[in-house]
Amino acid sequence: MNINHLWIIVCASFVFFMQAGFVCYEVGFIQSKNVISVAIENILTLVITTLVYCFLGFALMFGPTHLGIFGGNYWFLSQLPLADPSLGYVFVFFELMFAGTAVTIVSGSMSERTRLLPLLIAAVFLAGFIYPLFGHWVWGDLFLSQPAWLKQLGFLDFAGATVVHGTAGWVSLAGIIMVGARKDRFDATGKITKLGRSNIPFAALGTFILWFSWFGFNGGSLMEFNDRVGLILLNTNFSAASGVVGAILTNHFFVKDHSYLEAIFAGALGGLVAITAGSNYLEPMDAVMVGFISGSVVVFSGLWLEKLGLDDAVGAVSIHGFGGATGTILLAFLAPSEFLNGQTRLVKILVQLTGVSVNFLWAFGLGLLMFYLINKTLGLRVSEEEEEKGLNIVEFADLYSWQDYLKMTHYESLT
């Protein structure tokens, strides 16, 4: 065990901490009446990912490849070559946290009107099949196996802008299409109403936690501790910052509602997602550009989804889907030629477009199928009355916090 292992473990712990960031972010942006539901969903999807990914998904993703399409052998973490000089259990721990990130994103976007059980079933498929299989195609060779097909094509995705964030974003898109918009979000005349934002300071805390965790996300993806780590961390920070600038300017010039609030949050996260593809390859000024452009794309795509009548409660589709795709494609334009693996820039652009498209087709397509089947069997959506009441009460009989509030009001007024 050496400094590389220690670095991976510290980074994995930081990536785990994204769970805390997402819970704060999502809770902050939704309506009070659903915050308990969303908070607990985040715990439950982590539980599911832990068990399903470690016992099934990891083998599919990192086991010895079958035809460059799927892995195998390491079911239930058996037959792991632990004596190998590579990372063994440390590697599993690191990759588990990445899977956890992918899975936790989806439930946020569908929140406030989706039943709990369908979300948990979706988490099982995402952690056990959709995410690890696509992951195999790009990262399958990270752990002793041969490269799978997208990697062989030359597709570059350093830390998962497409593998993790794109997958999560496009499955979210399928989910919000299948479950439909929240009540009152759009009316028949096309009027758009924002909902939620119950606790923006909590969302700001979540944003800082995510930003912090991203240093582990990108830094750890080196899979060792080498002299590129300083650049990676700086690039991560630059892209987040310029993402905010890009989002604010886009909001200023192209959006009527000059409140900027959503743009600032989406810009920071969009910049972080986008730089995930190339933080290891780009120079600082290019990272600034990646952030700026993706911050802008995130705002535009958010508007576009809204116009289409699609309702994403936490902006996951635009941030993770569009932000991830933007960063992955920009990489082909901006990467120094030494990172093009001998391909011409034009070829690399086509390769990156291919990878992003395959990711969209795979994640969105399977997402649609999955949510369609769940909807036909269990039903995806809570009743209108339940949505009205809020899922805190429906799922967790939350009368306590309300009674507590009433009592407090009473006591304090006595003083």
Q: Is 197 in the site for a copy of itself (CB under 8 A)?
A: yes
Whose Cβ is closer to a copy of itself: residue 66's or residue 228's?
228
The residues in 46-65 that bind a copy of itself, with binding defined as CB under 8 A, are: 46-47, 50-51, 54
Q: Which of 69, 79, 84, 285 binds a copy of itself (CB under 8 A)?
A: 285
Whose Cβ is closer to a copy of itself: residue 77's or residue 347's?
77
Q: Which of 24, 105, 161, 380 binds a copy of itself (CB under 8 A)?
A: 24
Separation of alpha carbons 270 and 300, rounded Å? 12
Q: In the structure encoding, which two tokens stand for residue 296, read together?
A: 């802008």
Q: Which of 69, 308, 373, 408 binds a copy of itself (CB under 8 A)?
A: 408
Q: Is 33 in the site for a copy of itself (CB under 8 A)?
A: yes
Separation of alpha carbons 159 and 173, rounded Å? 22
Separation of alpha carbons 103 and 169, rounded Å? 10
Q: Is 5 in the site for a copy of itself (CB under 8 A)?
A: yes
Q: Which of 59, 229, 290, 299 binds a copy of itself (CB under 8 A)?
A: 229
In whole angstroms, how close is the CB of 213 to a copy of itself at the nearest point?
9
Separation of alpha carbons 4 and 88, rounded Å? 12
C-alpha pair distances (Å), 125 with each of 113, 128, 140, 159, 370: 20, 5, 19, 22, 8
Residue with tokens 């987040």: 240
The residues in 110-139 that bind a copy of itself, with binding defined as CB under 8 A, are: none
Q: What is the DSSP letter of 315?
A: -
Q: Which of 69, 117, 200, 308 binds a copy of itself (CB under 8 A)?
A: 200
Separation of alpha carbons 98 and 100, rounded Å? 5
The residues in 286-325 that bind a copy of itself, with binding defined as CB under 8 A, are: 288
Q: Which of 129, 212, 300, 333 binds a copy of itself (CB under 8 A)?
A: 212
Q: Which of 110, 123, 268, 380 binds a copy of itself (CB under 8 A)?
A: 268
Q: In the structure encoding, which two tokens stand for residue 221, read together?
A: 């993806």
The residues in 348-387 that bind a copy of itself, with binding defined as CB under 8 A, are: none
Q: Is 264 in the site for a copy of itself (CB under 8 A)?
A: yes
CB neighbours of 284 closer than 8 A, spacing ≥ 6?
231, 234, 235, 238
189-191-192-196 Cα dihedral, nearest 10 degrees:
-100
Question: Which stretch of DSSP H or E encloses residue 45?
Answer: helix 35-52
Q: Which of 144, 192, 204, 350 binds a copy of itself (CB under 8 A)?
A: 204
Whose Cβ is closer to a copy of itself: residue 154's or residue 390's?
390
Q: In the structure encoding, which two tokens stand for residue 5, read together?
A: 């292992």
Whose Cβ is closer to a copy of itself: residue 144's or residue 231's?
231
Separation of alpha carbons 14 and 272, rounded Å? 15
Largest CA distance in the chain: 76
Q: In the structure encoding, which two tokens stand for residue 351, read together?
A: 């390769």
- Nearest alpha carbon to residue 105 among 318, 369, 381: 318
Contact segment (CB under 8 A) with a copy of itself among 65-73, 148-156, 308-316, 407-415 equals: 407-415
Q: Is 91 in the site for a copy of itself (CB under 8 A)?
A: yes
In whole angstroms, how close is the CB of 237 to a copy of itself at the nearest point?
6
Separation of alpha carbons 87 and 84, rounded Å? 7
Contact segment (CB under 8 A) with a copy of itself among 65-73, 212-220, 322-330, 363-371 equals: 212-220
Contact segment (CB under 8 A) with a copy of itself among 122-130, 166-174, 299-307, 393-401 equals: 393-401
In whole angstroms, how close is the CB of 252 to a copy of itself at the nearest point?
13
